[in-house]
């Protein structure tokens, strides 16, 4: 079997049983990146020390010690997570030369379990976007059709997976950034419950919404990866002490007794025919596996996009204030600009360092937080957020899982939505509520559109009930998609 097709679980087992070395695995994926990524642009940088790190894993295996759950598994890490000694840019000019002195907790945990960081993946600048077109390092192309976007903001992670440049990837999700690219690229991706995963060392976009999560080619792989880095972290007080179950060991595709809620308001939206067809098939599949479907009502979801764009931009305006050219980030050339005051230095440095979308959001958020507008915008949004959360919790009294599309339609063409900000923001219509309410959500591959683009199915569960998500995902994996297709570049 071709190593490119190996799942995380298969690689770890093969390395542990010495059927293959971690160095061979790493070498295989590094050469794929070298040969194929020119077309896709999914990596911002490759880890030059990956082979040396893989050698260390092989030495542990040879010594008879336990190399960890993820022995020798290459991981593509979104370039928003700090990696010690490895450039971390957030796909922004303002951090183009930033080399972190420490690893994000997610990365530290992955390494502790034997994983090898293979490179840092491209994203929308500071994770703000849905198409990967706002990256300062060029846009990413969808391996299923190079004229299409891979989604965003974790588009590099999703595209790298789809093109089999890495067997596993890490993304972050503030309003849909794991689930939407996973859907557009035909891979699995989970945004865990808020507080499941440490945000320490992840460059902050909107702190009350940000969560990191795994992306991979199977439910089991996602479950195993999440087990390796979920849990309480002493560096992030918002992490929960809730125990981390062995999700991967408890997967079941028998959904007897499970109630799947279909939110009426989601299905009233203008969903395209291919997407609707796949959701209908997913519904039939879960019913065949013993689940019962029920209609639920979430009338406040119509406010999710406006609330999200007030709260996320407000938090972003505060989080991004630190990039001033003095404490952090690119500093403008003072002589060239004849800079006289510190205010000028701030403003020119930030003007040069941030891209248009990031500036738009900083301005929006600063406005929403400013005195006189705070009550009308930011505070009002927070109040509606609480009501939305209450409405979701109420819906979960009559069901165990919510099922819906991830987006209104599959991937769109590069350049087709950059002019209409509103149209781009509407991409987040089904995904933002999950972050606003802190619930765990997942995108599971469901099938393909008539023109061959992948389409995912979104499932959402109660807080800390990732097991139910994984079980529904596992049932869909086994019983919904019948054909294994490969994208264009392979
Ligand atoms: N597409 C959303 C946005 O543009 C979500 C981004 C994210 O989850 N990081 O903000």
What is the predicted pLDDT for the residue at 488? 78
| 53-96: pLDDT as tens digits | 999 999 999 999 999 999 999 999 999 999 999 999 999 999 99
For the question of residue 177 being annotated catalytic, the response is yes
177 CB near ligand 1 (under 6 Å): yes
- Closest by CA to 4, choosing from 134, 112, 166, 159, is 166
pLDDT score of 309 more than 90: yes
Which one from 153, 154, 317, 409 is the annotated catalytic residue? 153
304 CB near ligand 1 (under 6 Å): no
| 451-476: pLDDT as tens digits | 999 999 999 999 999 999 999 999 99
Distance 124 CA to ligand 1 centre (A): 9
Classify residue 260: in a domain, yes or no: no
For the question of residue 130 being annotated catalytic, the response is no
129 CB near ligand 1 (under 6 Å): yes
C-alpha distance from residue 265 to each of 202, 382, 456 (Å):
34, 21, 19
- Closest by CA to 452, choosing from 416, 479, 477, 488, is 488
Classify residue 229: in a domain, yes or no: yes
How many domains are there within the chain? 1
Kindly report the CATH number assigned to the domain that includes residue 200: 3.90.1300.10
Quick count: other Cβ atoms within 10 Å of Cβ 148? Answer: 21
Nearest-CA residue for atom 10 of ligand 1: 128
What is the predicted pLDDT for the residue at 423? 86
For the question of residue 42 being annotated catalytic, the response is no
Query: Beta strand pairing status for 43-46 and 454-461?
Result: unpaired
Classify residue 298: in a domain, yes or no: no
- C-alpha 373/C-alpha 365 separation (Å) is 11
Predicted TM-score of the model (pTM)? 0.98
According to DSSP, residue 203 is labeled P
**pLDDT band at residue 1 under the 50/70/90 scheme:** low
| 336-388: pLDDT as tens digits | 999 999 999 999 999 999 999 999 999 999 999 999 999 999 999 999 999 99
pLDDT score of 8 more than 80: yes
Query: What does the mean pLDDT of the chain come to?
Result: 97
Classify residue 20: in a domain, yes or no: yes
Classify residue 371: in a domain, yes or no: no
User: 373 near 380, Cβ under 8 Å?
Assistant: no
Q: 373-380, long-range: CB within 8 Å, 24+ apart, which pairs? A: 377/310, 377/314, 378/310, 378/311, 378/314, 380/310
174 CB near ligand 1 (under 6 Å): yes
- C-alpha 442/C-alpha 222 separation (Å) is 10
| 220-239: pLDDT as tens digits | 999 999 999 999 999 999 99
Distance 432 CA to ligand 1 centre (A): 8
Classify residue 364: in a domain, yes or no: no
Classify residue 440: in a domain, yes or no: no
Query: Beta strand pairing status for 74-78 and 401-405?
Result: unpaired
What is the predicted pLDDT for the residue at 277? 97
Classify residue 61: in a domain, yes or no: yes
Transcribe 395-429 into DSSP letters.
Answer: HTTT-SEEEEESSSSS--BTTSSTT-HHHHHGGGT
pLDDT score of 29 more than 70: yes
189 CB near ligand 1 (under 6 Å): no
Which one from 21, 42, 78, 449 is the annotated catalytic residue? 78
| 112-158: pLDDT as tens digits | 999 999 999 999 999 999 999 999 999 999 999 999 999 999 999 99
Instruction: Show the domain range for 68.
Output: 3-254
Nearest-CA residue for atom 5 of ligand 1: 175
Distance 297 CA to ligand 1 centre (A): 25
- Hey, which of 80, 92, 122, 128 would you mutate to test ligand 1's pocket, going by the most ligand atoms within 8 Å of its Cβ? 128
What is the predicted pLDDT for the residue at 218? 98
């Amino acid at each position: 079997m071709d190593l490119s097709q190996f799942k995380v679980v298969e690689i770890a087992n093969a390395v542990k049983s010495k059927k293959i070395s971690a160095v061979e695995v790493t070498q295989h994926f590094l050469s794929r990146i070298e040969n194929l990524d020119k077309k896709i642009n999914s990596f911002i940088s490759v880890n030059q020390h990956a082979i040396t790190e893989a050698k260390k894993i092989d030495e542990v295996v040879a010594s008879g010690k336990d190399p960890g759950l993820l022995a020798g598994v290459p991981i593509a890490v979104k370039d928003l997570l700090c990696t010690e000694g490895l450039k971390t840019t957030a796909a922004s000019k303002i951090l183009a030369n930033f080399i972190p002195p420490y690893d994000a907790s997610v990365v530290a945990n992955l390494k502790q379990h034997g994983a090898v960081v293979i490179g840092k993946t491209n994203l929308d600048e500071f994770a703000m976007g849905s198409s990967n077109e706002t990256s300062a390092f060029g846009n990413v192309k969808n391996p299923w059709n190079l004229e299409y976007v891979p989604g965003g903001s974790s588009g590099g992670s999703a595209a790298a997976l789809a093109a089999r440049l890495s067997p596993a990837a890490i993304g972050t999700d503030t309003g849909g950034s794991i689930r939407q690219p996973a859907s557009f690229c035909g891979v699995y991706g989970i945004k865990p419950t808020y507080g499941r995963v440490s945000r320490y060392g992840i460059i902050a976009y909107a702190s009350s919404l940000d969560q990191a999560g795994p992306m991979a080619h199977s439910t089991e792989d996602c479950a195993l990866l999440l087990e390796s880095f979920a849990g309480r972290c002493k560096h992030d007080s918002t992490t929960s002490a809730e125990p981390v179950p062995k999700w991967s060991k408890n997967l079941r595709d028998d959904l007897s007794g499970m109630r799947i809620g279909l939110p009426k308001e989601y299905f009233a939206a203008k969903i395209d025919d291919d997407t609707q067809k796949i959701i209908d098939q997913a519904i039939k599949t879960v019913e065949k596996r013993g689940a019962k479907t029920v209609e639920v009502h979430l009338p406040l979801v119509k406010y999710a996009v406006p609330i999200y764009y007030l709260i996320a931009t407000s938090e972003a305006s505060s989080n991004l204030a630190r990039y001033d050219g003095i404490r952090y980030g690119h500093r403008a050339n003072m002589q060239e600009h004849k800079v006289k005051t510190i205010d000028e230095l701030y403003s020119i440095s930030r003007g040069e360092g941030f891209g248009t979308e990031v500036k738009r959001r900083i301005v929006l958020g600063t406005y929403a937080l400013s005195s006189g507008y705070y009550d009308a915008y930011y505070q009002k949004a927070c109040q509606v957020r609480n009501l939305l959360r209450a409405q979701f919790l109420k819906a979960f009294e009559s069901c165990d899982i919510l099922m819906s599309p991830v987006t209104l339609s599959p991937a769109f063409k590069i350049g087709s939505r950059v002019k209409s900000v509103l149209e781009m923001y509407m991409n987040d219509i089904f995904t933002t509520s999950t972050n606003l309410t802190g619930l765990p959500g997942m995108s599971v591959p469901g099938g393909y559109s008539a023109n061959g683009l992948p389409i995912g199915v979104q499932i959402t569960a109660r807080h800390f009930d990732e097991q139910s998500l994984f079980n529904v995902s596992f049932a869909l994996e086994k019983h919904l998609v019948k054909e294994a297709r490969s994208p264009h570049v392979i």
